[in-house]
Amino acid sequence: MATPEERLAELGIELPEAPAPAAAYVPTVQTGSLLFTAGQVAVGDGGLVATGKLGAEVETGVGVRCARQCAINVLSQLKAALGDLSRVRRVVKLTVFVSSHPSFTEQHIVANGASELMVDVFGDAGVHARSAVGAPTLPLDTPVEVEAVVEVT
């Protein structure tokens, strides 16, 4: 079975350097066998993937791409904390915050951008519980923010 790093290579994804915290917090905290990540925004090469609210300035497909980029940044944080993504036993839960116009109701579809990547990278161990939450605004006007809880060895 391929390692998570090998799966990333197969998907054509090279993990960026883990983003530094933007305020007074740490990127990850481990307690027992659980590792919690701070929320990761949709920053990629060249800045934010998009800005604005889903259902207003941002279309659902762009939101899905933002969620995927957030998940890539989550993986970068996990790699920085663990040294090897093979130490992830299971993705326990993702919380996906979606900056949304009040009439927007496709937060769950946007969140799939992050959820599907976790399954692509970790296989059955990537299947997780999830919350997709509409928010009035997010830091830096990012459309999506993702945080994760993973079980590690």
**Cβ density class 6-16: b for 16+ within 10 Å, e for less:** ebbeeeebebe
Q: Residues 41, 137: contact at Cβ < 8 Å?
A: no
Q: What is the C-alpha to C-alpha distance for residues 29 and 59, in angstroms, rounded to an integer?
A: 33
For the beta carbon of residue 125, count every other beta carbon within 10 angstroms. Answer: 16
pTM over 0.95? The answer is yes
| CATH number at 35-152 | 3.30.1330.40
pLDDT in tens, 122-144: 999 999 999 999 999 999 999 99
For the beta carbon of residue 51, count every other beta carbon within 10 angstroms. Answer: 16
pLDDT in tens, 37-94: 999 999 988 899 999 999 999 999 999 999 999 999 999 999 999 999 999 999 999 9
